[in-house]
Amino acid sequence: MVESIFVSLSVIVLITAVISGIIRLFRQPLIIAYIITGIVISPYFLNLLHAVDTFRAFSQIGVALLLFIVGLNLNPKLARDVGWISVLTGLGQVIFTAGIGYYIAQYLGFDFITSLYIAVALTFSSTIIIMKLLSDKGELETLHGRISVGFLLVQDFIAILLLLFASSLGTVGMASFVVRSFITGILLIIVLFFISTTVLNKISSWMAESQELLFLFALAWCFSIASIFAYFNLSIEIGAFIAGVSLSFSPYHYEMSSRIRPLRDFFLIMFFVLLGSQMDFRFISQFIKPTIIFSLFILIGNPLIVFFIMLLFRYTARTSFKAGITVAQISEFSFILITLGVKIGHIPREIISFITLVGIITIAGSTYLIMYSDNIFSTLSKFLLLFQRKKLISDGAKKRTCKILLLGFNRMGSSIYDALRAYKKDLLVIDYDPQIIRKLEQFKIPHRYGDVYDLELLDDISLKKTKIIISTVADYDTDMLILRKIRKEAPSSLYVCVSKNIKHALQLYDAGASYIITPHILGAQYAAHLLKQHGLKKSFLKKEKRKHINQLYKIVLNMYGGKI
């Protein structure tokens, strides 16, 4: 029996690897490969999935580990970090998508409960996929990247609450759920807050002396708390999530998360493989129309919802658009919720096939939308800019001339401003983050609000009288657009910009850039210079450490008023 399961697992992993390689050629997330693997090994094709109970147990472990890691990264301090725009956009998107999705489901003939499940499942977007795509594009630290990650985490938190709600409805009625949730919630908050801030911190500090021991401790804690929840007829997955939250206060929660992530990935593969194997092709024909309608709604409607919400909060059309397309797919939580609904008996099994089809289409489609977001925005910019609100933020400077133009007051921009502080009267800062604009107003730094990608913004500035333009946006396409405009209207002006790509840096030099700041190369050269001049002197490195910490705090003070 054991040998049979091992051979079956080996064949499934081999098929998964082959299909994943093919999917990777199309630059698609591997989650699609896992689902396709499930379809291939299902009874409709190769019929290789025999030990279903074993794979179901594997998939449940994968979901539990996923929620455990989500809990590890949901430290209460997160609410402050993601900002109100992420919270409000996340809530707004969930409410509007669920509401519109429900009426679409009702129009298509689904019953009340099924419509609710479909509407809620389609509101969530994949944090894992989006963070990977934004990371590959180097956009995690951009304004739209930070906002996107923020409201995706808000979505994850809402998904956890809804999973808790749905799983409790499966064991008890509505009234007892409310009473029990209130009592259990208060007790858990009190107990876990006490444990996490006292006992767990001490234990994790001792365990952290060995990486293997820390890994085993985190795993044991996850499974123990999940098992206690199961003993009281509560959800194993929610127990794992609570276990993660209780460890999120530990200074070692990042190490725990990184150690457990490969294990989570393996077992989560089994979840998606099992999901694909459960697709029932006998009912596919009746879901063709709903699949097309809901896929279009997710790919087009979801981004538009986020786009208009962010415009209301005074963000530019470009930032709103690029943040909006990150929600153009459904999440792993969507699959988990639908699977839970089928397990409880709330919705028919064939809904799994329907949601899986929507998932494959939207995940594939959104990947290309994000990869080519700049090109898509360039094509649609004339139309999208019509919706951008004018006078978004009160300008600190009207139409004027300046000798120094600083584009972007991010971490690097604030440091450059410090070096140019003596030229404050001759300097103008342009930024598209409303939070930074408010800080510039507070510090009475001459500024304009706007996105430098919109070249009409530069028409209000007399570039011919500008001696130097410094751009910290680190976006190749934007820098090229600005550079062409400057070389046409102000050929004598100096243009300094940032590039993290050597090939792009050389191309910008060929286009006429005066100097390219390459952070990784300059950083390495500075470190090499320090080591060459001072060697490995402990006293010198200690002095440099204090100096660096002071610089970092100064940047934080300039940008965020001291809040990290």
Q: Is the pLDDT of residue 133 over 50?
A: yes
| Same domain flag for 114 and 193 | yes
| Same domain flag for 361 and 415 | no
* Secondary structure element (H or E) that encloses residue 96, with its range: helix 78-107
| Same domain flag for 28 and 128 | yes
Other CB atoms within 10 Å distance of the CB of residue 353: 22
- Determine, yes or no, domain membership for 525: no
| Same domain flag for 288 and 435 | no
**Alpha-carbon span 290 to 537, nearest angstrom:** 68
| Same domain flag for 274 and 227 | yes
| Same domain flag for 493 and 348 | no
Predicted model pTM: 0.74
Provide the 8-state DSSP code for 298: I
Please, are residues 239 and 167 in contact by the beta-carbon 8 Å criterion? no
| Same domain flag for 270 and 314 | yes
- Predicted confidence band at 112 (pLDDT cuts at 50, 70, 90)? very high
Q: Is the pLDDT of residue 269 over 70?
A: yes
Residue 393 is predicted with a pLDDT of: 45
Whichever domain contains 491, its CATH number is 3.40.50.720
Which residues lie across from 447 on neighbouring strands? 429
**Alpha-carbon span 401 to 411, nearest angstrom:** 25
Residue 78, phi then psi, degrees to nearest 5 = -60, -35
Q: What is the extent of the structural domain holding 426?
A: 404-517
Q: Is the pLDDT of residue 553 over 50?
A: yes
How many structural domains compose the chain? 2
| Same domain flag for 16 and 92 | yes
Residue 302 is predicted with a pLDDT of: 93
| Same domain flag for 349 and 452 | no
- Predicted confidence band at 236 (pLDDT cuts at 50, 70, 90)? confident
- Determine, yes or no, domain membership for 533: no
Residue 396 is predicted with a pLDDT of: 44
Among the candidates 517, 536, 557, a domain finishes at 517
- Predicted confidence band at 417 (pLDDT cuts at 50, 70, 90)? confident
| Same domain flag for 422 and 341 | no
Residue 117 is predicted with a pLDDT of: 94
pLDDT top residue among 415 and 470: 470
Residue 188 is predicted with a pLDDT of: 66
Q: Is the pLDDT of residue 409 over 90?
A: no
**Alpha-carbon span 409 to 309, nearest angstrom:** 24
pLDDT top residue among 554 and 207: 207
- Predicted confidence band at 394 (pLDDT cuts at 50, 70, 90)? very low
Whichever domain contains 116, its CATH number is 1.20.1530.20
Please, are residues 260 and 219 in contact by the beta-carbon 8 Å criterion? yes
Among the candidates 318, 352, 383, a domain finishes at 383
- Determine, yes or no, domain membership for 538: no
pLDDT in tens, 499-537: 988 888 999 999 889 999 988 888 888 788 777 777 766
| Same domain flag for 210 and 240 | yes
Other CB atoms within 10 Å distance of the CB of residue 248: 20
**Alpha-carbon span 84 to 74, nearest angstrom:** 16
